[in-house]
Amino acid sequence: MHHSSTIGKLAKAKNAIIKPWSYFSLQEMGLQDIADEEEQPSTDGLTGLVGGVWRGIMSTVAGQSTPPRELSSNATTQNEPLHARLDSETERLFLCMSWWFLHVGWRILEEQAERAVSEACKSLPLKKEMTLEDWNVTINDIRRRMDEFLNSSKLLHILLPPPSQVEFEDLLKLYPTESACPFLAPPYSPIVTELLDQTAAHLTSIDFVFVFSQSIELVQGTLLDQIAREIYNETTFQRNALRSSFMSEATIQEITSKKLVQCLPCLTRWSQRVWQAVPDEAIDRLAGSHNVEAFTALIYGDFGSDL
């Protein structure tokens, strides 16, 4: 509740903090040419479903794919505020760092999602009768396995390029891409390193952990809502995000069951919609989340404190 209160206070200043940024177009930020070059993961059944959930939650601003360029070498002093030491080339390079997640990080994530689904569902026969509560238990099992993976310090290397040159090059060899990486291997200039350290600090903060957990709850709830509507002809699932519990409007005894094989077409459609549908219900709910908006205000406020 403390985290919720702290983040809630920041939301009140959101519009004043981020309004000036809303006037910048994709072209002005150099982000126009990236969407068509994204590689797409599998959308087969549960694997694509879970990969889509995690990719949607963790999607960052996409950076354009351009040939590698050398870093700017402007002379700066550490006594100057961060915004005074930024030049256009440094900003371009930092925005391009999102290339890492779009071309390498999501593949690490997809690989783990496939493993988690396989381990959680390998004992489920296709003829097994599945209720909404069964789906809740199964998805929570998959989520637990994903959490265990991400809690082992993997999240930063999924979202950001690793600081080690050896690890950077090893991952590029392990996950080759058709487009050239738009930035060189580390080490980076002091100012780029400072920007990456600041980003990493936000991603490892208590506030991010709280918002990330709540965002997963929200997307999981969206999936259960759609399963309830499309498979079981129920209007929705009532969910309590703070307690991580999902309860049907009907009693447990009254819940209809369906064979697993009957549910797979719905899950496949859902996983495809996560990637292809515009707008997408889960992403729209996520983008409109009070916690996500407040955390965005926190980040802009942190950067803007030096202005």
178-212 pLDDT tens trace: 889 999 999 999 999 999 998 999 999 999 999 99
- What does the H/E/C string look like for 41-60? CCCCHHHHHHHHHHHHHHCC
Which value, to the nearest 10 degrees, does the dihedral of the CA atoms of residues 164, 167, 171, 173 take? 110
For 40, phi then psi, to 5°, come to -105, 135
Q: What's the pLDDT tens digit per position in 108-150? A: 999 999 999 999 999 899 999 999 889 999 999 999 999 888 8
pLDDT at 2: 53
Q: CA 159 to CA 156: how far, in whole Å? A: 5
pLDDT at 115: 94
pLDDT at 169: 94
Q: CA 150 to CA 3: how far, in whole Å? A: 21
Half-sphere exposure of 267 (CA within 13 A, CB side): 18
Averaged pLDDT, 4-23: 44
**What long-range pairs does 87-91 form, CB within 8 A, spacing at least 24?**
90/189, 90/191, 90/192, 90/195
Q: Given pLDDT bands bounded at 50, 70 and 90, which one contains residue 283?
A: confident
Q: CA 106 to CA 303: how far, in whole Å? A: 27
pLDDT at 158: 92
Neighbours of 305 (CB within 10 A): 9
Least confident of 208-212, 216-220, 245-249, 302-306: 245-249
pLDDT at 63: 32
Q: What is the pTM of this model?
A: 0.66
Q: Given pLDDT bands bounded at 50, 70 and 90, which one contains residue 61?
A: very low
Question: Would you say how long the chain is, in residues?
Answer: 307
Residues 6+ apart with CB under 8 A from 18: 296, 297, 300
- Spell out the domain ranges in the chain: 35-304
Mean of all residue pLDDT scores within the chain = 74
- Please state whether the peptide bond connecting residue 163 to the residue before it is cis, i.e. omega within 30 degrees of 0: no
Contact by Cβ (8 Å): 193, 85? no
